[in-house]
Amino acid sequence: MSFFYPSLTSLLRRPCLFQDGHPLTGLASPHEMTTDGRGGTILTIFSAGPDCDGWYQCTAFNAAGSAITRARVAVQAPPEPPPAQVPRLDLPRPGRIIEPE
């Protein structure tokens, strides 16, 4: 996910990131925040799981004020694999039985 703010002045401080209204402080895994040098902030989510689902908000500040943008992240789980089946060996029934001598 990428948040971009074009601006004529540099940011006064690092943008604030929130998930569902809670600050992403310290950005512990699976989140990483980087800047692209052009006023953009990039939030990378590694190995997204159900706990990463929700609304993300970025607030950027400069001398002119602040700007806020939001994005919705919906994490979809891969489909469950079908249950494993035990392999079976189907042999035909013999037509006649051979008795030992």
| Rounded Cα–Cα distance for residues 20 and 13 (Å) | 22
Write down the pLDDT at residue 76.
83
Residue 11 forms part of a structural domain: yes
Residue 78 is assigned to a structural domain of this protein: no
Q: Domain range for residue 65?
A: 2-73
Residue 20 domain flag: yes
Number of domains in the chain: 1
What's the first-to-final CA gap in the chain, in angstroms?
79
How far is Cα 32 from Cα 27, in angstroms, rounded to an integer?
A: 6
Instruction: Give 47-82 pLDDT, tens digit per residue.
Output: 788 888 889 888 877 777 888 888 888 888 778 888
* pLDDT grade for 88, boundaries at 50, 70 and 90: confident
* Domain-embedded: residue 58: yes
67 occurs within a structural domain: yes
CATH of the domain at 61: 2.60.40.10
